[in-house]
């Protein structure tokens, strides 16, 4: 499992996790598309925006390996702002390649590009 050096481990001042410390013995947690409802808590929205900001600052529009990025946090963006960058794609593989959909990110998180 690739560890993304320099990537924040969590959203500053919170317990919202962005990375994991070690690989699971049973394999990577499956990435799934989670529905983001309009009535989500402001803290959850800040965590999504902070994670998207970290992805953008570290990888830009280039494909990146899933590595030690938290599956739960990724799943809130998966199949919207973060898409598979390879075919076939294994959502339960630490080596799977992902890529930011820049157009979708600009709509969902306009503050990320402006920062």
Q: pLDDT tens across 96-106, in order? A: 999 999 999 99
pLDDT in the model for residue 113:
76
Q: Total domain count for the chain?
A: 1
Number of Cβ within a 10 Å radius of residue 8:
16
- For the chain, what is the radius of gyration of the CA atoms? 13
Asked if residue 7 lies in contact with residue 58, where contact means CB atoms within 8 angstroms, the answer is: yes
Q: Which residue has the higher pLDDT, 7 or 83?
A: 83
Query: How far apart are the C-alpha atoms of 90 and 28, rounded to whole Å?
Result: 10
Number of Cβ within a 10 Å radius of residue 38:
4
Q: Which residue has the higher pLDDT, 114 or 35?
A: 35
Q: Which residue has the higher pLDDT, 24 or 16?
A: 16
Alpha helices in 41-101 (DSSP H): 42-59, 71-75
Q: Is 93 exposed, middle or buried (0-12, 13-18, 19+ CB in 10 A)?
A: middle
> Which structural domain, as residue segments, surrounds residue 32?
1-115
pLDDT at 8 over 80: yes
- pLDDT digit string, tens, across residues 21-76: 887 777 788 999 998 888 889 999 999 999 999 999 999 999 999 999 999 999 99
């Amino acid at each position: 499992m690739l560890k993304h050096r320099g990537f924040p481990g969590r959203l500053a001042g919170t317990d919202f996790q962005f990375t994991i410390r070690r690989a699971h013995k049973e394999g990577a947690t499956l990435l799934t598309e989670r529905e983001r409802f309009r009535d989500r808590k402001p803290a959850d929205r800040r965590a999504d925006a902070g994670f998207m900001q970290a992805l953008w600052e570290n990888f830009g529009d280039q494909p990146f390996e899933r590595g030690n990025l938290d599956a739960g946090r990724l799943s809130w963006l998966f199949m919207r702002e973060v898409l598979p960058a390879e075919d076939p794609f294994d959502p339960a593989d630490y080596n799977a390649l992902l890529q930011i959909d820049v157009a979708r990110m600009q709509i969902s998180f306009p503050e990320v590009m402006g920062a």
